[in-house]
Structure 1
Amino acid sequence: MAKKRPQTKTGKVTGTDVNYPAVGAREPCPCGSGRRYKACHGRAAAHAVTALVQRPFEGLPGECDWVALRELVPAATVELNLRGGLPEGVPSVTLATVLPMAWPALRRDDGAVLLGLQNDTASGDISRDLADVLKRALEATPGSPVAAAGHPTAGGVSVSADGPRLQDLLDPAGPFVPVVHDGFEFWLEDAENSTPEVAASLERANEAAVPTTRLSGVEAAYWCETPDKNHLRWVMPHPEEKLLDALARLHAAGTSSLGEGTRLVGSFRAHGLVVPVWDLPSPVRAGDVEKPAEAFAERLAEALSSDAPLTSDERRARGGLTNRQVTLS
């Protein structure tokens, strides 16, 4: 994970008097029962839908970037396009990695909607949960946060298994172009008049964010900076077995790196897709791997086209890569 998701117990939308308690699973339930949230109203939310959807973003424009923004990128926004256009009084709908006080969504004073992506969800289908929040945000009073389904503030409602998914609400032909930010200042409509709670949440979020850049020459590849070394994490859409075979072919041939001192160290699964990871020396910046990444994409395409059985060296390389593979979701 690239960051810690900011949390706080209470907060208030700038310009309103609406309070929304955001609690963790082990904190007291806001309903006042005295029990932990996960054992009270959180229990109903957790069991609203039990079937886990392995690829919740499949079929959406930019599926790989949806996965990256959900799991890898600290601060980013994307303008969303709705089927049939925006409702009257809603000038824009923006997807954000994280919102202040971990709000699932909020409706700004001007009617614009912000939808948070990295919140915990109530069911096994992230797409359906986000669609539920989005629908309620579109109908919310301007200047209001939107509670998660099953939360006491949301009236205890749960996500219907027959409810729409993002694939039903978003324009399938609409572009999906993430904008990565250095921090979370995009939260604020009016920085000078923000509440102390929002200002404190912003400060904590900025401190926890890992510097991240999206490469421009290939899809869904994100460079990030860490204290000891840098990394490139690249969400790929290819079928897992085919992709691992292709990576093994390149690794065995010594062509899996992105330049001197870089190394393909393994991969992880996230929301049904495979994310290869490279270690990069600290001096290597995002711009330094743009052209190497483009060249790697060409080598990978050639390796993906091969149906030849793996050689013994390639099988060993594949074993090494898969032994270091983990699953995030």
Structure 2
Amino acid sequence: MAKKNRAKNQAASEAPAPGGVGPRQPCPCGSGKRYKACHGAPGGGTVFVKRPFEGFASEPDLVALRELVPAATVPLTLVGEHAGRTVQLCTLLPMAAPAMVRDSGDIWLGLQVQHNFGDPSRDLAAVLLAALEAEPGAGMIGLTSAPGEGPRLQDLLDPAAPLAVTVHEGFDYWVADMEETSELAQALEQAEGAAAPTDRLTSVEAAYWTRMGAKEHLRWAMPEPEDALLDALARLHVTGDDVIVPDARLVGMFRAHGLLVPVWDLAVGTGAEALEEPAAAFKAKLDAALADTSDLTPEQRSARNGLANRQVTIR
């Protein structure tokens, strides 16, 4: 009887959560942990949004800025009662603060934060609303618990407006309008020491070159449905058209906030500029492959399986 009970309990623990997420699958929150060790754990949260930035014209860039890019800023245009307030979206703020209210009353909103309550869009909106209500010079604003029901970022911004992303070499934007203190200088030094050089391509959307140690990569957040994208990439792989530049290799991909992010290894010394025209040419081939709805050939199916199994780490 005890053996039967153990088997029953184990089966229950392995059952998918609401929404079809299995305990051993990646948590939908994007943490990179298994569901059972993240939001599936006791007290792990109850909100699960697979694509928190869905609906934004710049959804892939938002995903990349939250997960890949060390230092970047984006001016935000609020709608509704808060229209006219100056808000700057930042990949990272000092001490990973969720938001800062400057002496001028301007607001800096951080994407890369310590908390994660299952819906980053709702979390960002909650922090932003708290910052909008704070007095000028209030400093850091954050969340200490799940925000509960409320608007999401899509409700406070115009989702159709494209984002004007500026990638910075470092975090000098932290001190652009303020006197640098010893504490801030120390935080700046630590952050810049951990930041990998990164550039955003201008010829295509949400594609970022980076150098990590002695290696260079292209990481490209793509909004297309995963199954269709894998089919298209498999078609291009079989014909050799997934080689964006000479000596580049599509090494795999990862999932972040509901999007697939293919990753290419690049030859050392490639740099971002050399990728501009080839990336645009690859995008044209990818669009043609996405439009092809014919059945995959056995060779293409094999390539698709290989691509689907090549999971790489985010950073």
Please tell me the TM-score bracket, short chain as reference.
0.7 to 0.9
What per-residue deviation string (whole Å, max 9, x for no partner) do you get for residues 103-152 of structure 1?
110110011000000103341111111100000111112112334222xx
Q: Which amino acid aligns with 2:184?
A: V
Show the counterpart of 1:181: 168
What per-residue deviation string (whole Å, max 9, x for no partner) do you get for residues 153-205 of structure 1?
xxxx6401x211001111234331110000001011446x3221111000111
Normalising by structure 1, report the TM-score: 0.79
The answer as to whether partners of 1:61 and 1:173 remain within 8 angstroms in 2 is: yes
Structure 2 CA distance for aligned equivalents of residues 272 and 142 of structure 1: 36
Structure 1 CA distance for aligned equivalents of residues 44 and 263 of structure 2: 34
Secondary structure, aligned partner of 1:275? strand
Q: In the alignment, does 2:172 pair up with 1:172? A: no
Q: In the alignment, does 2:192 pair up with 1:206? A: yes
Show the counterpart of 1:163: 150
Show the counterpart of 2:268: 282
Show the counterpart of 2:25: none
Residue 312 of structure 1, CA deviation: 1.3
Residue 308 of structure 1, CA deviation: 1.2
Show the counterpart of 1:230: 216
Runs of 4+ in 1 over 3 A off after TM superposition: 46-49, 85-88
Structure 1 CA distance for aligned equivalents of residues 43 and 77 of structure 2: 30
Q: In the alignment, does 2:97 pair up with 1:97? A: no
Residue 326 of structure 1, CA deviation: 5.2
Structure 2 CA distance for aligned equivalents of residues 302 and 209 of structure 1: 36
For 1:1-329, list aligned pairs within 5 A.
Answer: 47=43, 49-84=45-80, 86=82, 90=85, 92-150=86-144, 158-160=146-148, 162-190=149-177, 193-325=179-311
Structure 2 residue runs of 5 or longer lacking an equivalent are: 1-38
Secondary structure, aligned partner of 1:278? strand
Secondary structure, aligned partner of 1:225? strand
The answer as to whether partners of 1:132 and 1:159 remain within 8 angstroms in 2 is: yes
Q: What is the CA RMSD across the aligned residues, in angstroms?
A: 1.9
Secondary structure, aligned partner of 1:276? strand
The answer as to whether partners of 2:130 and 2:141 remain within 8 angstroms in 1 is: no
The answer as to whether partners of 1:266 and 1:276 remain within 8 angstroms in 2 is: yes
Residue 309 of structure 1, CA deviation: 1.2
Residue identity (%): 54
Structure 2 CA distance for aligned equivalents of residues 146 and 285 of structure 1: 36
Q: Which amino acid aligns with 1:163?
A: G
The answer as to whether partners of 1:223 and 1:286 remain within 8 angstroms in 2 is: yes
Residue 230 of structure 1, CA deviation: 0.6
Q: Which has the higher contact order (CA 8 A, sep 6+)?
A: 1
Residue 236 of structure 1, CA deviation: 0.4
Q: Which amino acid aligns with 1:159?
A: P
Between 270-279 and 252-261, the greater mean CA deviation after superposition: 252-261
Q: Which amino acid aligns with 2:294?
A: A
Structure 2 CA distance for aligned equivalents of residues 69 and 168 of structure 1: 20
Structure 2 CA distance for aligned equivalents of residues 200 and 320 of structure 1: 45
Normalising by structure 2, report the TM-score: 0.82
The answer as to whether partners of 2:255 and 2:261 remain within 8 angstroms in 1 is: yes
The answer as to whether partners of 1:188 and 1:194 remain within 8 angstroms in 2 is: yes
Q: Evaluate the alpha carbon distance shift between residue 101 and residue 120 of structure 1 in structure 2; reply closer, same or farther with a 3 A threshold.
A: closer
Structure 1 CA distance for aligned equivalents of residues 44 and 80 of structure 2: 29
Residue 49 of structure 1, CA deviation: 4.5
